Each structure stands twice: as structure tokens, then as C-alpha cells.
Amino acid sequence: MNITIVGTGYVGLGTAIMLAYLGYRVTGLDTDLQKIERLRAGDLPIYEPGLDELLRQAQGNLTWTTSYEESIPKADIIFICVGTPALPSGQPNLTYLESAARSVARNLDGKTQIIVNKSTVPIGTADWMTRILEEHAVHYHTNRYDIVSNPEFLREGTALSDSLYPDRIVLGGRPWAVARLHELYAPLIEQSFTPPPHVPRPSGYTRPAVVNTTLTSAEMIKYAANAFLALKISYANEMAGLCECVGADIEEVTGGIGLDARIGTRFLAAGAGWGGSCFGKDTSALVSTGEEYGYDMPILRAAIDVNRRQRTLVIEKLQRHLRLLKGKRVAVLGMAFKPNTDDLRDAPAHDFIARLASLGASVVAYDPVAMPRARQEWGHLQYSEARSASAALAGADAVIIATEWDEFRLLDWDAAVLTMRTRVVIDARNLLRMPLSVAATVEQIGKDAGPAPTMAQASA
């Protein structure tokens, strides 16, 4: 099969390279010429562990272009993987999706072709896209072109493993189109491919479940899955607040309840709250969809409120110890919304930096991977860059751990804290496991901070 992937962001690139590795001829299409030129040179525009190596292995099956006219007519299956960012109302912005769908429709060539929607979209979008095909496709016929909803469930930082060894593949659409996707995904379903050496097949993994369903149910599955994970995170954070009140330890609590197989430990971690491109957007989209039908969703609204509160809580913890922040130097460790990615979308660190600057603090930030992207996307923020985590802490009055990078876990915290002017550590990711051996104030989420040293002790 010839495959065309429209959109070369995190989802599109991962999908394109994975399918090329499986042996398909894949064309990656994007209107951003600079991005396409980088890809033609073998340079990835995003950071994802192991993706560069898989790109090298699959390079012979990949072509990159900015032309719909070149790539759409020859494709048997066309994946649309463009962004659907949230509008101020909470509803997804479908501008990019509509533009891509129109351009695809105008260049379909009359043979049987399937358009696969991999973008996260509002429920009912597939029907809307079908109308676009009817209006703009030459030689349109109901049995010639069809839409399949095939939502992705990738986690940034582990996208390769999630792509090659998924726990489920969801396919929504008419039976003949879904059957064609079964053919495409046969190597994944049967696990008949040779695993890449750097992404081995997990021990005990057999094959993914395949969910064949309707277009509407497939779209709903994606939103419902992300909303449930968001709920787990907000639940853990709400329990963490009560743990601080009564003197319990949130990690012991979540560890204990997570042993119940009905609950599980994954996504039950207290901290600075969720970020990234999915959870906030998808929970808001579900609430907005409910409003369209006069259906209130109080549980999701509460999850959104709790997540928003966590970012304020971190700054409140800092103010509790430093009092006035004006003139203070605060280090922020981690800028990406999670480790092993350079994705800055809805990152808690963004809100921390913005709030600290508004309170008059001088902010110095460091991230092992995301600083180059932050120079492009966070030009509106006031902060300086540090060359390392240790350099960020030197002379600082306080530090906020905003992303749980392994590099920060391995930092010699006793030595680094000694270089601080006032030793206040706000561990918003509960990353530190052992008490520091030097006098310092360490605040975590959902844990008793214990008696804090005086400012004189902390500076001694």
C-alpha cells in the first residue's frame, strides 16, 4: 500500500516512521517547508527517544513533501494527523483539520481511497468530513472514498513502544473500510515484524486488542479514555491536599489503593497536574459537547478545577517560605510538560515562570531537551537560561522542580543546595526520595514537610 500522512507533528511523524519501518511506502506531507527540508535531511523537528534511530532504519520507504497534488492521488490510505488546539471556549479549533480535509478531497483521483482521521476531534467530526468529501472531491461516490476514525493512544516519551506494541487498536467506520485498515495493521495485530533492536518487544506482550466500532463510538473512546486518565491525576492531587492536612503521605496512599486491580497505579501520581496537548483540551471538549446537548458534566469540571489549582498551589508553597518574591531569584528545573519530550504545550513550568515574573522574581530555567524549543515558543516569558541544573541553583533563593527528568533525580542535591542563597526546594513532582543531609526547606505534594528550618539555618 501507498500511505500519505498529512501533518508531521508528534502523531504524524510517529505514524509515518512506524509504518515505513513495517515496510509500507509512506509520504509525509506538511505545509511547513522548513520542517519538510529538515526531514529530507534526516533531521527530526521534535524530540522523541529512539525516533531518530527508527527514522534511519526506515528512511528508504519515506518521502517528504509539501504538495497535496503529488502525494494524495497515489495514496491508497491517507492519515490526517493535524493539530486541533483548544479555543478559548474550550471547543477544539478545527481550522487545520478543515483545511487539510478540503485539500485532500480536491486531490483524490477516483480510485478507492480511505481517509483515516487520527487527530483528536469532536464527536461527529467524521460525518462533517464526509460532507467535505461530497462537496470537494472529484468523482465522489459513497463506495469510492470513506472515512475511518483511528484515534491514537501514544504517550510522548514512550511513543515508539506505544506504536509498535499497542494495548488496543480502535477502528471506527463502515465494514469495508475497517477491513482495509485491518490489512494495513496486520503486522501490528499479528506482531509478525522484527522488533527494532532499540525498541524490543515487551516481555509477555502478545498482541493488541482490536476494537471494531462505529465512527461516533471511536471518537468517543478517545475522549473518554483521556478524560478518565485526567480524572485519576486530579483525584490523586485532591487526595494529596487532604494528606497534607492530616499528615498522611500521598505516595503511600496511592501505592496502597493502586494495588487494587480495579484501580491500578498508573496515572495516580500527585504533583503539578497534567499538561501537554491532550488532557486539558480533551476534558474541555467533552464538557463543551455536553453543553451543546444541555448535559452538565460536573465530575470533569471538577477535574479541570483541581488541575488548575495545583499550579497555584506550587507558587503558594513558595510564598509561604519566601514571603515576598520581589527581587528573589527562583530556579525552575524542567520546562517540557513531561520528561523525554520537548513538548511545551500547556506545561506547568510556563505558568510557574509567568506567575513568578509577575510577582517580581528573577527566574532562571533549565531543561535537558526543551530549551531550544522554548526560545521559539516562549519568547513572551521573562526568564534566563542556565547551562545545567547545578548552574540554575547557584545563588538561587528557591527552586521549583517542574518536570521529573532523570537528570534531576541523579543530581547531587546536597552539593547543589549548598550553592543556593536561601535553600527552599519546592518539589512539584515528588522527585526527591531521600531527605537532604544539609539544612534546607523541602516541600513536596501530598507530604508532611516536617518542621522547616529558620531562614538563618537554611542559609547557613
Q: What are phi and psi of 42, to 5 degrees?
A: 80, 20
Q: Which amino acid makes up residue 105?
A: A
Q: Which domain holds residue 98?
A: 2-213
- pLDDT (tens place) for every residue of the chain, 460 residues total: 899 999 999 999 999 999 999 999 999 999 999 999 999 999 999 999 999 999 999 999 999 999 999 999 999 999 999 988 878 877 788 999 999 999 999 999 888 999 999 988 888 889 899 999 889 888 766 678 899 999 999 888 899 999 999 999 999 999 999 999 999 999 999 999 999 999 999 999 999 999 999 999 999 999 999 999 999 999 999 999 999 999 999 999 999 999 999 999 888 999 999 988 888 888 998 998 899 899 999 999 999 999 999 999 999 999 999 989 999 999 999 999 999 999 999 999 999 999 999 999 999 999 999 999 999 999 999 999 999 999 999 999 999 999 999 999 999 999 999 999 999 999 999 999 888 999 999 999 999 765 444 444 444 4
> Is the same domain home to 313 and 182?
no
Alpha-carbon distance of 366 to 390, in angstroms, equals 9
Contact 446, 429 (CB under 8 A): no
Q: How much helix, strand and coil, in percent to the nearest 5, is found in the chain? A: 45, 15, 45
Contact 182, 215 (CB under 8 A): no
Give residue 245's pLDDT: 93
Alpha-carbon distance of 170 to 43, in angstroms, equals 31
> What CATH number is attached to the domain comprising 397?
3.40.50.720
The beta strand positions in 33-182, using DSSP E, are 62-65, 77-80, 113-117, 145-149, 168-172
Domain assignment of residue 250, yes or no: no
Domain assignment of residue 427, yes or no: yes
Matching residue, cell 471538549: 285
* Catalytic center residues: 278
Q: What are phi and psi of 250, to 5 degrees?
A: -60, -35
Residues annotated as binding site? 30, 35, 84, 120, 153-156, 222, 267-271, 275, 281, 338, 345
Domain assignment of residue 117, yes or no: yes
Contact 162, 11 (CB under 8 A): no
Alpha-carbon distance of 111 to 73, in angstroms, equals 9
Final residue of a domain: which of 154, 181, 213?
Answer: 213
> Is the same domain home to 193 and 338?
no
Domain assignment of residue 339, yes or no: yes
Domain assignment of residue 263, yes or no: no
Give residue 450's pLDDT: 53
> Is the same domain home to 201 and 311?
no
Alpha-carbon distance of 90 to 288, in angstroms, equals 6
Give how many domains the chain has, as a whole number: 2
Nearest of 17, 10, 8 to residue 345 by alpha carbon: 10
Close Cβ partners of 14 (under 8 Å, ≥ 6 residues apart): 48, 51, 154, 159, 160, 163
> Is the same domain home to 186 and 312?
no
Domain assignment of residue 255, yes or no: no
Q: How far is CA 459 from CA 130, 157, 314, 393, 453, in A?
A: 65, 38, 22, 13, 10
Domain assignment of residue 14, yes or no: yes
Pairing of strands 2-6, 77-80: parallel
Final residue of a domain: which of 179, 213, 247?
Answer: 213
Give residue 319's pLDDT: 95
Rounded to the nearest 10 degrees, the angle between the axes of helix 279-292 and helix 215-246 is 110
> Is the same domain home to 205 and 337?
no
Residues annotated as binding site for NAD(+)? 30, 35, 84, 120, 156, 281, 345
Helix (H, G, I), strand (E, B) or coil at 50: coil
Alpha-carbon distance of 64 to 383, in angstroms, equals 36
The beta strand positions in 123-167, using DSSP E, are 145-149
Alpha-carbon distance of 3 to 154, in angstroms, equals 20
Domain assignment of residue 183, yes or no: yes
Give residue 141's pLDDT: 66
Nearest of 249, 233, 253 to residue 446 by alpha carbon: 249
Give residue 142's pLDDT: 67
Final residue of a domain: which of 213, 240, 266?
Answer: 213
